[in-house]
Amino acid sequence: MVTVANFTSDLEQIRCVAGFRGTNRKITSFSIIDTPEILDWLHGGEFVVDSGYITFHNPSILKGFVASLKEKGCAALGVKLHRYHNEIPNIILEDGNKLDFPIYELPYNLYFCDFAYTIHKRMFEEQLDEMYHVSIAYKDIVDSLSKYKVPERMLSELSLVLKNPVFLTNSRFELIDYSYGPNDNFSSHTPPPPPNPNPQPKKIPATQIQSPGELDRS
């Protein structure tokens, strides 16, 4: 997962100035404030950047703007300085600290296209890393299934690969066996007996059977 903190840690030219406790928010995309109606075009996860043009000429949108970004699920707000804003408006800083929403100063010479490329590159690298670990886990699972014939040991290996407990059930989701990991004590397992493959229908006592005449009178 790409968070604001681990993404910005390598970017020396930008600086967090408010909302420090919210830097664990997840980044999924990038967006530029290019219209006063920007909030209508956000879906969550964006690192939103502002050149200052819209917010400088429409200062009324600043009231409650940070709260709206947080409500939309955005990751952070970056404001470029020394073009329209020489400093970030106080209302942005105050709301950022109040709501634990990260606010960043962006230098004048920062290209937004480069910033967006860096975000998407980090996300792509993260996805590649996840795919690699999934492929390794899949290989380990297949190897375990082919290597172990004893169900207990197979479940133990699967639990180790998945880093989670593994439960084996029948088609009725009744527990057959389980494992919490390679150090599990299988001798302590007492799974319920398997279901009867040929269940007998329940018999109705003769006293509860009514004759057709009795049914007509009822």
76 and 160 in a single domain? The answer is no
Domain boundaries, position 28:
4-118
Do residues 110 and 12 share a domain?
yes
- Tell me: the pLDDT tens digits for 141-189? 777 667 766 666 777 777 877 778 888 888 888 888 888 766 655 444 5
Q: Which amino acid is at 111?
A: Y
β-pair type (29-32, 15-18): unpaired
- DSSP codes, 15-67: EEEE-GGGTTPBP-EEEE--STTGGGG--SSEEEEE-SHHHHH-GGGGTTHHH
pLDDT tens digits, residue range 23-81?
Answer: 999 999 999 998 889 999 999 999 999 999 999 999 999 999 999 999 999 999 999 99
| DSSP assignment of 192-206 | PPPPPSSPPPPPPPG
Residue 70 lies in a domain: yes
Q: Tokens 């950022």 — which residue?
A: 96
pTM: 0.64
Pair of tokens at residue 201: 């229908």
